[in-house]
Structure 1
């Protein structure tokens, strides 16, 4: 099972350990694309702080994020699972998983990123600011930029098992499963059962709990139908919509009564 996650906008501070070692990151096929984004981002932030804030979509109060990007090559690095914070990651709570569940997380979780493309939760990275919605002056819109390198790397990473796609729309734009990979991919919406509406905070927290439940239980569904069964066994109320045509993902709705 491969689980695709969005990053968090807010991030923990960089660590005090060794700085980034790009060659150590997972998915080495993305190395050249990562270096191109990293180089342009650092150059942009060094050349003109106001322009960098505009490009990155940062308010005056977030001016310090530009300085953070200047130090990407020298700042201490921490596992991505510690760098990413926010509602989904609080609910997932990787640090409190038992050793077996942590090993499953290391094998199965990929976090998409405007800067790195995608990283494993064990990859050591510095804190940064660069969303997938950014349009860099040289490379252009990052969502479009990442499509070509992702298309050659992600199908191999997906292997032959289930792909559970929990990304937000901006990050989903960087790679869309196709063909037989799409046929074993499932996307998830979390709906407030009484209203049948998506509530953003609630949606993220429930997705974090879903991933935690699967990791803790040791569930290993191999296809979307198996995922539906596994989630129901874990107590979730799931409505599944099988694809209307070959080569398209399954769409799952998880219904929850309480918004919290």
Structure 2
């Protein structure tokens, strides 16, 4: 198998850093403007309009649309102010377990430069952003259906197909909702990272918190690379070898069947002992 360019596909975090010191949002200044600006504008316009409500009844209705519990009703005002809110680089905006373990802001300079082109954060609002893209705080999941837009996981498929590469080694750390919005085409090699805890009797279980943490660890390993390595891992075997060398127990699972128009994924199963 020949080496391909590395792309690390991540989900956004639900929680995000607030505030910022950057100027208000400029859609044309985000990555992939030619492919994504029109779609971003359509989603942004709908979200701001939906969230610009004040009556208790309307707030309850919109919380239902966005899937927000009562305690997060304040996020509607955050969304309504998206066009004027201050921005932060996506690397600083996204928080949570995966991003804490990835530590984009603490990467060595060379690794941070690699992250700028190799990390793709798939988003319900932006389609995809890169770590240096300046974005405001917001709340919008990929499984939401917006008026005039539809279900976001479906809406973003065509724009993301145009914006993302059709020949890459995609190390996929996304959850199912975000994976549905972009299925890498057959020219890509997809390596989906799965994380299991293993009981003494060999029983494997999925634990969400540990899965997020471990995916963040794997992404950081891919960006920092071992001392002396002068190239990205270019095959699933390269990734498995790197992860194993870092002390994580893992298994590489070959694709089970052809994926039709999409790449049939390999799986990197990281096994954690309970």
Q: CA deviation at 1:196?
A: 1.2
CA RMSD of aligned residues (A): 1.5
Contact 1:16 1:75 (C-alpha < 8 Å) held by counterparts: no
Cα pair 2:196 2:271 within 8 Å, conserved = yes
| Equivalent residues of 1:65, 1:128 under 8 A apart | yes
Matches for 1:175-186 after TM superposition, within 5 Å: 175-181=182-188, 184-186=189-191
The Cα of 1:230 is off from its aligned counterpart by: 2.1
The residue number in structure 2 matching 1:11 is: 16
Relative to structure 2, which stretch is displaced further, 233-242 or 135-144?
233-242
Q: Render the CA deviation track for 1:74-109: whole Å, top value 9, x for unaligned.
A: 100000111111110111112221111111111211
Q: Aligned equivalents of 2:224 and 2:187: distance in 1?
A: 28
Q: Is the 8 A contact 2:222 2:239 kept in 1?
A: no
- How many angstroms apart in 1 are the aligned matches of 2:128 and 2:110? 23
User: Shift of the alpha carbon at 1:254?
Assistant: 0.7
In the alignment, the residues of structure 2 paired with residue 129 and residue 144 of structure 1 have an alpha-carbon distance, to the nearest angstrom, of: 18
Whole-angstrom CA distance in 1 between matches of 2:163 and 2:106? 31
Greater mean alpha carbon deviation, residues 74-83 or residues 90-99: 90-99
Q: Which residue of 1 aligns with 2:3?
A: none
Which of these residues, 30, 39, 44, is aligned with residue 38 of structure 1?
A: 44
Normalising by structure 1, what TM-score? 0.93
Question: Is 2:109 the counterpart of 1:99?
Answer: yes
Deviations 1:174-229 (A, max 9, x none): 01112121xx1100101112231111000000111111122122661112122122
> Is the contact made by 1:15 and 1:78 (CA closer than 8 Å) also made in structure 2?
yes
Instruction: Give runs of ≥4 in structure 1 deviating > 3 Å.
Output: none
8 A contact 1:5–1:166 mirrored in 2: yes
Residue of 233, 246, 266 corresponding to 1:234 = 246
What TM-score do you get using the length of structure 2 for normalisation? 0.88
**Residues paired across the two proteins, number:** 253
1:146 aligns with 2:151: no
Equivalences for residues 1-260 of structure 1 within 5 A? 1-28=6-33, 29-47=35-53, 48-156=58-166, 160-181=167-188, 184-194=189-199, 195-217=203-225, 220-246=232-258, 247-258=263-274
Partner Cα distance (1:215, 1:223) in 2: 15
Structure 2: which 5+ runs fail to align? 1-5
1:19–1:74 contact (8 Å) kept in structure 2: yes
Asked whether the equivalents of residues 189 and 252 of structure 1 are also in contact (C-alpha less than 8 Å), the reply is: yes
